[in-house]
Structure 1
């Protein structure tokens, strides 16, 4: 059966997943569309636009490479910290279906660049738990969050996520909090200084205000809403399953999943708190969602109902590209 086969170790799957993402994201290369329009973007993403001369296909190639890299990195992260108590490549496959499942996000977006930077911040936060070099790791986490916020403004709220995560890990101490703050401020200070010396601070301020106050208007198909509904059901089932088995897990695994769930909540909260934040937050939320759903499919007791649920998830992830 499909689920029983995929939830094991299949190194060929790690080759297949980037190809699958490419096939499901093919529309972004055939009919490229700018996801940012004419709105000025944060400095780091503006630099990327300048390097590519604003060429949509070039930007989408970079976007695809980020997605392909993330599909492999999420497997590596689990192998390193084993919060899903089984060696499995299923998260890569689940990630491929989820990340391509919103048809209005076919293409490169600042939040996609921010997502891989926040992934590295997440990795450094996990590493703090081991207790060695905590200051350097806290600084690195803050640095990646700072860079992410220079790509996508609303990623800046993850500095608060970082401080709360330190509390979960038992390292909510002044020096780790300060190291993270300093790491966050370094790229922000460098970029602000560049704008200052070029007498462009007013331009930066206007960009910030435009992004904060941008009104998001979108219309989604019924099939798109159905796909999101299936994802929501899976997240609820997966979270419920997590609460039932959390006491059986190692302390480290409990902490890692708490941090992941908090990461997800910050993406959801940003959507409701900031007028300028829109559906692109999907690129941030999908990281924890991938792990939560993968944990459910890998470790829940196998049954024909689980198999049917997994098949529904896979089919909806493919059919959205036809009917979405």
Structure 2
């Protein structure tokens, strides 16, 4: 599975951002994209060391998933979440992270989840009466703050932490303020960094504004989501039923289960505000689902029944992951990945290209030109060139980095070029909304 046979649209976008930043462009004004700043820095570093390599993304992701399995199992052991010391949660976590092939690639969701797990460890320790140090409260806010600088929708878990503190702990007001300070500090530092570089407005427009004003990038249908994750969903329901019938928890363990249920609820809010409907977004559910499924397997009293249930779950991972990837399982026909996977496009090889569309396939073997990488963010500029500010930005972006080819899939360039005669004179069109730089 470690190959470049199934490059996804989001992966290609991450590679293009990393490539532009590594080439010297500045984030948000030199590269128009809504990617979070820490994720952009990681992709720039990956491009510096490995270039445009999907294999590097996959190997780093495997290492990160292994680390998450370790810290997830460790935090449950240290906080005595189960009646026995076991490594089952780490095993289930790893299997759930293998459920879809695009879980095992370097995404902002995956990187941000690492810091959410670190915050969860401190939350569990805080719920237990013996661990109420102020630095632990501060760290909860800091970890969640770092998580949303990897992927902005993680900001919802800051609200989740406040609700958990309100309903499940006896935290004093001073500690709420301390956690809120830790939560806001990463954003304040990031805003200060862009302010000093004269890019605060670009930071707000590219990174913060899309949280409230976005178009949904739908790479799969709602039916496809339920088909793909039907088996974990069934096991989750069985876990809830089993826990309601058989579980004998301490009050502390009951609170931990309530915390993980809150995670599930806020994961739904996370999906809603993410603006993307793709399989890898649902990796945010892995920690709470792994928590409840571990309870399910451990509460089965007969060992052979537990082994049989686990075997069924393990086989489902193979069928849904490898079966969909290699096309030998029936669910493949219900999962339309036509808009999700990048098809081979060799037409513009080694050209400097500007694509005015959400579909980034022409960039596969080409290089992005101009800052206008994200069509959602730059569409308003191209559709409204009559405004002076928009025209100024367009002129500077095009003149400073003239593309060899402009692929205009929304027929907006004629209105732009008639207001930029010097740029217009440099291009000729073939009549199919594709503009070529004159030699």
User: Which interval holds the TM-score relative to the shorter structure?
Assistant: 0.7 to 0.9
Task: Find the counterpart in structure 2 of residue 103 from structure 1.
Answer: 101
TM-score normalised by L of structure 2: 0.62
**Contact 2:218/2:276 (8 A) holds in 1:** no
Task: Find the counterpart in structure 2 of residue 18 from structure 1.
Answer: none
Q: 1:142: how far off?
A: 0.4
Task: Find the counterpart in structure 2 of residue 68 from structure 1.
Answer: 66
**Contact 1:91/1:294 (8 A) holds in 2:** yes
Describe the SS at the equivalent of 2:35: coil
Relative distance call for 1:241 and 1:92 in structure 2 (3 A) is same
Residue 290 (structure 2) pairs with residue 290 (structure 1): yes
Q: 1:140: how far off?
A: 0.2
Q: Please report the RMSD computed on the Cα atoms of aligned residues, expressed in angstroms.
A: 2.5
**Contact 1:139/1:179 (8 A) holds in 2:** yes
Which structure exhibits the higher relative contact order, with contacts defined as CA atoms closer than 8 Å and separated by 6 or more residues? 1
Task: Find the counterpart in structure 1 of residue 231 from structure 2.
Answer: 230
Task: Find the counterpart in structure 2 of residue 17 from structure 1.
Answer: none
Q: Distance in 1 between matches of 2:155 and 2:240?
A: 26
Task: Find the counterpart in structure 2 of residue 182 from structure 1.
Answer: 181
Relative distance call for 1:275 and 1:29 in structure 2 (3 A) is closer
Within-5 A mapping of 1:29-44: 32-33=7-8, 35-38=10-13, 39-44=33-38
Residue 141 (structure 2) pairs with residue 142 (structure 1): yes
- Residue 39 of structure 2, aligned match among 6, 23, 45: 45
Task: Find the counterpart in structure 2 of residue 114 from structure 1.
Answer: 112
Relative distance call for 1:221 and 1:268 in structure 2 (3 A) is closer
Q: Deviations over 1:53-79 (max 9, x none)?
A: 264433333222110111122221121
Relative distance call for 1:259 and 1:143 in structure 2 (3 A) is same
**Contact 2:218/2:277 (8 A) holds in 1:** no
Relative distance call for 1:222 and 1:306 in structure 2 (3 A) is farther
Residue 26 (structure 2) pairs with residue 27 (structure 1): no
| Structure whose residues are more often strand by fraction | 2
5+ long unaligned stretches in structure 2: 14-32, 325-439
Q: Distance in 2 between matches of 1:175 and 1:88?
A: 37
Q: Deviations over 1:25-50 (max 9, x none)?
A: x3356655463543441011011111
Q: Deviations over 1:108-156 (max 9, x none)?
A: 1101001000000000111112344432111100000000000001000
> What is the number of equivalent residue pairs in this alignment?
298
Relative distance call for 1:51 and 1:105 in structure 2 (3 A) is same
**Contact 1:75/1:91 (8 A) holds in 2:** yes
**Contact 1:112/1:283 (8 A) holds in 2:** yes
